[in-house]
């Protein structure tokens, strides 16, 4: 979407000068040869475009301050922070210290395990939901189910954690009561049990996103050519044969894209979720890179070390996202942007 | 799609199974919420025995709600949440629209560079600590602005708007130009009215984003009086700080507070926090669904 602007007619709002057109481009290249002409060209351009830059200024300023100044601040990862500035440049010492600490590997392992569990158990659910929803021909029924299951997507993790705390309460939570009624013994507290807390993350993630994410697959299903279904019907295909031979092949590109993009987020096990489910007892199994950085930096005051850990995550994360975007684009023609 | 004229008994059973699975999912989604809503309206004396499975209030009482709504922490939280969200959304929509308009103009010098600079922010986030030091350097620690200004222009929504503005027929803009409108007039008098539905969508995106924001409020606002609702909720429900709600309620002379079951208070608190989302949910469904269906992952 970035590249095609040159061809689009730029006559809009221009006062005679057509900067985007081929002629304009050609003139500009020629103008590079003489300094005076180029300065004139530059001034004419400014006269034409300054209102747009003025309108963009607040946004540009915001992006610069909020997203680019922190990149500069991140140089702290290579420094020894002193109470009285300036900090001392120590190169990769913080990273060495980080990679030498066993906690870092535990946190990294937790992050990878939680991400892997989410890909294995959360990722397929919306696909199944979309396939089921597509089988419902009654529009009203389908609409009602959809508006109900989309709702949790719009709730904050604070609210969702609150809901799950009530749901999993050993004394009066729904889960415990069902468990008792079915004779599975007395309920334990899943939220404080290091063995079960990861499953709580998985299930709460399903609760929050399964419905909404099915929308993407549903959109892909609706884009399938109806003639394919008609042909299958004429051939006498059953419901399952149609799903298996028409619907699923039709949404494989979407599945592939979303799978690859999910892989790009492998080092982000969702800070907002984890921080609300974390407590002193379960921290050992769900302490992820983000919560580690948060604790290390803002609670313990190990700023340089925390920044190094954050930068490690950011760089690996960026590589993963860009790689998955490129892979996705190559394989399916769809990417993140 | 294909008609279901001939149905074998097997197909009927299949259909019933499909519908029941989805209804089960619907129950799994809604029951926990309805249970909490019912709990918040249950007669205080019967809260102790209220089942986690029930979705009908046992007796009916508004005590929890009136207590919460009169509570100074909740009132302040509600007030803070509303003004902080309103400010973020206003600045966000205006800032995003202005920047998107510039970026959507073909031939804008530096357009490609700015686009790439914006995309970079999607993939690279330097992390919490550099952000914290930026806020410190800007003198925004413990001020609502550290929270309000976060993602006030979101790269994603910016790109959505740029796409929308690129679709505006250039004849309309030329007509405005011929009538003697300067670029500012064109933007405010021609483009913005045309983009009403796109702007409404973006505004809703921002609304949900900012209303649900809690992490920055949690780390940047030390002063409890500045907390938005999400952080008040977090302190009470997640951290289980009973004193925060009951203690202050007692101090404010509300005698009923100690008798009211904590469970019901937590349930009511959760619902106060999500009430605005529920109130605009039909709108959210309309705009988000349409946006996701049509714009999903095009690139």
Q: Cβ(B264)–Cβ(B64) under 8 Å?
A: yes
CA–CA separation, A124 vs A131, rounded Å? 11
Shortest Cα distance, chain B CAs vs residue A233, angstroms: 8
Q: Is B71 on the interface with A (CB under 8 A)?
A: no
> Which of A8, A13, A176 should be substituted to probe chain B, the one whose Cβ sees the most B Cβ atoms within 10 Å?
A13
Distance from CA of A48 to the nearest CA of B (A): 10
Six token digits for residue B148: 């309000």
Give the number of beta-carbon pairs within 8 Å between A and B.
Answer: 324
**DSSP classification of residue A171:** T
pLDDT tens track, chain A, 337 positions:
333 333 232 333 233 343 444 444 444 444 444 555 677 788 888 888 999 999 999 999 999 999 999 999 898 899 888 877 788 888 899 999 999 999 999 999 999 999 999 999 999 999 999 999 999 988 899 999 999 999 999 999 999 999 999 999 888 889 988 888 888 877 788 888 888 999 999 999 999 999 999 999 999 999 899 999 999 989 988 888 999 999 999 999 889 888 988 888 888 888 999 999 998 888 889 999 999 999 999 888 899 999 999 999 999 999 998 998 898 888 877 776 6
Q: Is B76 on the interface with A (CB under 8 A)?
A: no
Closest C-alpha to B47, from B262, B194, B236 = B262
Residue with structure tokens 């120590």?
A90
- Residue A89, φ and ψ in degrees, nearest 5: -75, 120
- Return the CA Rg of chain A: 27
For chain A, what are the domain ranges?
2-65, 92-332
Chain B nearest C-alpha distance from A102 (Å): 22
pTM assigned to the model: 0.87
Residues of B in contact with A76 (CB under 8 A): 129-130, 133
Per-residue pLDDT of chain B (299 residues; tens, 9 = 90+): 444 456 788 888 999 999 999 999 999 999 999 999 999 999 888 888 888 889 999 989 898 899 899 989 999 999 999 999 999 999 999 999 999 999 999 889 999 999 999 999 988 888 899 999 999 999 999 999 999 998 899 999 999 899 899 988 888 888 998 888 888 999 999 999 999 989 998 999 999 999 999 999 999 999 999 999 999 999 988 887 777 766 656 655 555 555 567 889 999 999 999 999 999 999 998 888 877 776 543 43
Q: Which residue of A has its CA nearest to B1?
A: A226
Q: Do A172 and B263 touch (CB under 8 A)?
A: yes
Contacts of A13 in chain B (CB under 8 A): 105, 173-174, 177, 183, 186
Q: Select the residue from B23, B91, B126 to test the A interface by mutation, using most A Cβ atoms within 10 A.
A: B126
A3-36 CB burial, b ≥16 within 10 A, e <16: eebbebebbbbbeebbbbbeebeeebeebeeeee
Considering only alpha carbons, which residue of chain B is nearest residue A174? B52
* CA gap B272, B264 in Å, rounded: 12
Residue B210 near chain A (CB below 8 Å): no
Q: What is the ipTM of this complex?
A: 0.91
Q: Which residues of B touch A129 (CB under 8 A)?
A: 22, 25
CATH class assigned to A92-332: mainly alpha
pLDDT digits (tens, 9 = 90+) for B161-203: 998 999 888 888 889 988 888 889 999 999 999 999 899 989 9
Residue B124 touches chain A, beta carbons under 8 Å? yes
Full DSSP string of A104-118? HHHHHHHHHHHHHHI
| Two structure tokens written together for B152 | 């006030």
User: How far, in Å, are A104, A289, B109 from residue A107 at the CA level?
Assistant: 5, 6, 46
Closest CA to A60 of B108, B295, B168: B108
Nearest CA among A218, A285, A275, A261 for reference residue A123: A261
Report the chain A residue with the minimal C-alpha distance to residue B51. Answer: A172
């Amino acid at each position: 979407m970035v590249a095609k602007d040159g061809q689009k007619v730029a006559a809009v709002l221009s006062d005679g000068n057509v900067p985007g057109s081929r002629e304009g481009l050609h003139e500009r290249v020629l103008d590079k040869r003489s300094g005076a002409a180029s300065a004139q060209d530059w001034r004419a351009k400014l006269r034409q475009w300054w209102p747009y830059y003025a309108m963009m200024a607040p946004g540009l300023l915001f992006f610069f301050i909020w997203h680019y100044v922190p990149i500069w601040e991140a140089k702290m990862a290579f420094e020894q922070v002193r109470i009285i500035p300036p900090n001392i440049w120590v190169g990769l010492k913080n990273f060495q210290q980080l990679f030498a600490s066993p906690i870092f590997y535990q946190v990294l392992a937790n992050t990878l395990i939680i991400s892997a569990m989410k890909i294995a158990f959360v990722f397929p659910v919306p696909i199944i939901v979309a396939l089921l929803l597509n089988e419902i021909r009654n529009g009203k029924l389908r609409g009602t189910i959809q508006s109900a299951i989309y709702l949790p997507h719009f709730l904050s993790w604070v609210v969702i954690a609150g809901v799950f705390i009530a749901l999993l309460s050993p004394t009066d939570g729904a889960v415990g009561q069902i468990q008792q009624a079915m004779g599975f013994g007395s309920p334990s507290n899943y939220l404080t049990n290091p063995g079960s807390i990861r499953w709580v993350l998985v299930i709460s993630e399903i609760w929050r996103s399964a419905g909404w994410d099915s929308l993407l697959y549903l959109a892909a299903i609706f884009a399938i050519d109806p003639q394919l279904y008609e042909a299958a019907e004429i051939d006498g295909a059953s419901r399952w044969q149609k799903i298996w031979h028409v619907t699923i092949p039709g949404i494989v590109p979407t599945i592939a894209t979303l799978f690859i993009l999910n892989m790009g987020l492998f080092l982000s096990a969702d800070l907002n979720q984890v921080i609300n489910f974390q407590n002193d007892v379960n921290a050992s199994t769900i302490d992820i890179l983000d919560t580690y950085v948060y604790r290390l930096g803002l609670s313990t005051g190990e700023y340089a070390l925390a920044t190094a850990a954050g930068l490690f995550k950011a760089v690996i994360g960026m590589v993963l996202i860009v790689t998955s975007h490129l892979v996705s684009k190559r394989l399916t023609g769809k990417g993140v942007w | 799609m294909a008609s279901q004229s001939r149905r074998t008994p097997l197909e009927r059973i299949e259909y019933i199974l499909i519908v029941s699975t989805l209804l089960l999912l619907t129950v799994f989604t809604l029951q926990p919420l309805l249970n909490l809503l019912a709990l918040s309206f249950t007669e205080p004396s019967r809260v102790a025995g209220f089942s986690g499975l029930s979705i009908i209030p046992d007796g009916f009482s508004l005590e929890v709600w009136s207590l919460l709504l009169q509570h100074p922490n909740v009132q302040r939280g509600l007030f803070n949440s509303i003004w902080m969200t309103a400010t973020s959304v206003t600045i966000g929509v205006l800032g995003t629209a202005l920047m998107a308009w510039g970026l959507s103009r073909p031939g804008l010098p530096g357009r490609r560079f700015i686009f790439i600079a914006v995309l970079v922010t999607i993939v690279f986030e330097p992390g919490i600590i550099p952000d914290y030091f930026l806020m410190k350097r800007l003198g925004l620690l413990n001020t609502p602005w550290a929270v309000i200004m976060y993602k006030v222009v979101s790269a994603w929504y910016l790109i959505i708007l740029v796409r929308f503005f690129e679709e505006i027929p250039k004849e309309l803009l030329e007509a405005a130009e011929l009538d003697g409108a300067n670029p500012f007039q064109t933007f405010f008098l021609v483009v913005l009215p045309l983009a009403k539905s796109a702007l409404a969508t973006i505004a809703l995106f921002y609304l949900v984003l900012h209303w649900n924001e809690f992490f920055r409020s949690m780390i940047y606002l030390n002063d409890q009086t500045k907390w938005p609702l999400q952080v008040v909720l977090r302190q009470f429900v997640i951290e289980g700080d009973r004193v925060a709600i009951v203690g202050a309620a007692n101090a404010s002379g509300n005698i009923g507070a100690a008798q009211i079951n904590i469970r019901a208070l937590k349930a009511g608190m959760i619902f106060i926090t999500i009430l605005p989302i529920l109130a605009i949910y039909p709108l959210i469904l309309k705009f988000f669904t349409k946006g996701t269906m049509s714009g999903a992952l095009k690139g």
